[in-house]
Structure 1
Amino acid sequence: MTNRAIIPTGTQPPLAPYSPGIMADNAIYVSGTLAFDKDNNVVHKGDAAAQTRHILETIKGVLETAGSSLTDVTFNHIFITDWANYGSVNKVYAEYFPGEKPARYCIQCGLVKPDALVEIASIAHKRS
């Protein structure tokens, strides 16, 4: 098995030692993703729905760079800073996963940036 880093064109270097995604055989692991702009600043401060949309678009970009798509996602790890945002996160999430839903979990916790309200990491299995 060989691992290949997945780095979408125009992506800024991560804040820590990691890759936006890794492909191992037909599995794609997308790192925990926050709503960052091109300079690694949090965008859509105070708006969990907009941050969720931004995050899912970023994850979509990583998957597309690997030749995959959101329809290949099998599992999502969702982290939120406040349960009050759970409904708005789910509303946007449902738009991106309209058919069969991936398995997932959601926990409340602190995130690496104080203005970040949501973080999502994904696992996808690329179809042959």
Structure 2
Amino acid sequence: MSKTIVVPKNSPPPLAPYTPGVVANGVLYVSGMLAIDTAGQSVGVGDIRVQTRHVLEAIRAVVDAAGGSMSDITYSMIFLKDLADYQAMNETYAEYFDAAPPARYCIRADLVRPEFLVEIGAVAHLRHTSTSGSSEVVL
């Protein structure tokens, strides 16, 4: 099996040994994304809506770079620091998906920095597997 590493242009530096995305057999696996900018600074501290939007835009960048779209996402994993943010996160999340959103789960968890309120990972089944707008390595 070959796999393609997907790193969108202007990706933030990773906080651990991982890559933003990996495509294998037409399936894109997107790492858990956080509200972090290209300089490694936290975005939207204290604001779940800003952080959720930033995280979903980071996911969109990976999916786009892999040649897909947000409608290709079939599954997402959501981690919230505080379940009191569940409704506001959902309202922002719903802006990114049509009437048939992906399957998902959402749990409360401590995140890697105390200022992070949400982390989202995703799986997308790509209609095609060409990558664009990314640095890629085929393994």
Counting only pairs closer than 5 Å after superposition, residues 11-90 of structure 1 correspond to structure 2 as 11-90=11-90
TM score, norm. by length of structure 2 = 0.89
SS of 1:96's equivalent in the other structure is: coil
Cα deviation, residue 11, structure 1: 1.6
SS of 2:35's equivalent in the other structure is: coil
Say yes or no: does 1:3 pair with 2:7.
Answer: no
What are structure 1's unaligned runs of at least 5 residues? none
Cα deviation, residue 112, structure 1: 0.2
Matched AA of 1:37: D
TM score, norm. by length of structure 1 = 0.97
Equivalent residue, structure 2, for 1:105: 105
Cα deviation, residue 13, structure 1: 2.9
Count of residue correspondences: 128
Aligned CA RMSD, in angstroms, stands at 0.8
Matched AA of 1:74: T
Quick check: 96-105 or 72-81, which moved more? 96-105
Percent identical residues: 48
Cα deviation, residue 98, structure 1: 2.0
Does structure 1 conserve the Cα–Cα contact (< 8 Å) formed by 2:13 and 2:38? no
Quick check: 92-101 or 73-82, which moved more? 92-101
What is the CA–CA distance in structure 1 between the aligned matches of 2:39 and 2:64, rounded to whole Å? 22
Matched AA of 1:58: A
Equivalent residue, structure 1, for 2:117: 117
Cα deviation, residue 99, structure 1: 2.1
Cα deviation, residue 39, structure 1: 1.4
Cα deviation, residue 127, structure 1: 1.1
What is the CA–CA distance in structure 2 between the aligned matches of 1:47 and 1:95, rounded to whole Å? 17
SS of 2:52's equivalent in the other structure is: helix
**Structure 1 pair 17/105, CA: closer, same or farther in 2 (3 Å)?**
same
* Bigger RCO of structures 1 and 2 (CA < 8 A, at least 6 apart): 2
SS of 1:57's equivalent in the other structure is: helix
